[in-house]
Structure 1
Amino acid sequence: MTHASAHIGPELLETRLQAGRHTLLADEPASNGGRDAGPAPYDLLLAALGACTAMTLRMYADRKGWRIDTLEVDLRILGTPEARHILRILTLSGPDDAGRARLAEIAERTPVTLTLKQGIAIETQLAEQTA
């Protein structure tokens, strides 16, 4: 089961994240009241999508026996809060044009891509208060 947690103290926006065995730090830039000690939440969201995209495409290419010299995934959130979208630009070298086109198709079906496109229910509960 995938698991993560976040802990923030009483004064700063700096947030310690635990994702499995890994500890990360998130923060907001100074312009939003943080100290820019780590990526902001939307940066982390894009990083997760980018990692999933790169890993999925690498696994697919490896299974097909396709050599990938470079694979870069550039991501940006564009639009307004009411109409946001993610622009994903793949920079690939190695596969021929047909292979590159196939990898672009596969990028549309990575696990994180599908989760974001379909949406996901979020249930919020309060834990029991400790003394």
Structure 2
Amino acid sequence: MEVKTHRGTGPLQQVIEIGAHRILTDVSRELGGEDSGPEPHDILAAALAACTTLTVTLYARRKGWPLEEIKVAIKHGQEGSAYALHREIEYVGQLSEEEKARLTDIANKCPVHKTLSGTIAITTEAR
């Protein structure tokens, strides 16, 4: 899958193209944008939250566990020399403590969590 970006209509707005999907990203008015979309770090945090909910939901369904809903909140920002992502998970349903613990283990294995926790190599080619 290839992700592309190009300038949007605002002074700093960018259009993200992912296949047939379009997402706007921008920055706050204080930074010179129009706040017409989430900032890039918010999209990164959203990817972790969405991956967590999808991965855990699929696992619980496969096990037949009574997970009615999963709510994930990500607080994120620079903390010293590291960019920190703090994830809070709420499981809704009649789950045992053991099932919740296992679902948390599965959350820590979602593909985006594994990517962000591993070694990331970024190469740049300028034209």
- TM-score in terms of structure 1 length: 0.89
Relative to structure 1, is the Cα distance of residues 11 and 24 closer, same or farther in structure 2, using a 3 angstrom cutoff? closer
- Counterpart in 1 of 2:107? 107
8 Å CA contact 1:17, 1:24 repeated in 2? yes
- TM-score in terms of structure 2 length: 0.92
Higher mean displacement: 92-101 or 57-66: 92-101
Structure 2 residue runs of 5 or longer lacking an equivalent are none
- Where do 1:20-31 residues align within 5 Å? 20-31=19-30
- Which structure's relative contact order is higher, taking Cα pairs within 8 Å and 6+ residues apart? 2
Q: Equivalents in 1 of 2:66, 2:28: separation in Å? A: 39
Query: Per-residue CA shift, 1:52-100, capped at 9, x if unaligned?
Result: 1000000000110012122101001144251222100001021221111
- Counterpart in 2 of 1:17? 16
Aligned residues: 126
8 Å CA contact 1:5, 1:19 repeated in 2? yes
Amino acid at match of 1:38: G
8 Å CA contact 2:4, 2:17 repeated in 1? yes
Is 1:97 matched up with 2:91? no
Structure 1 residue runs of 5 or longer lacking an equivalent are none
RMSD across aligned C-alpha pairs, in angstroms?
A: 1.6
Q: Equivalents in 2 of 1:21, 1:81: separation in Å? A: 38
- Where do 1:42-81 residues align within 5 Å? 42-80=41-79
Q: Equivalents in 2 of 1:59, 1:35: separation in Å? A: 37
Q: Percent identity?
A: 36
Q: Equivalents in 2 of 1:96, 1:62: separation in Å? A: 15
Amino acid at match of 1:91: E
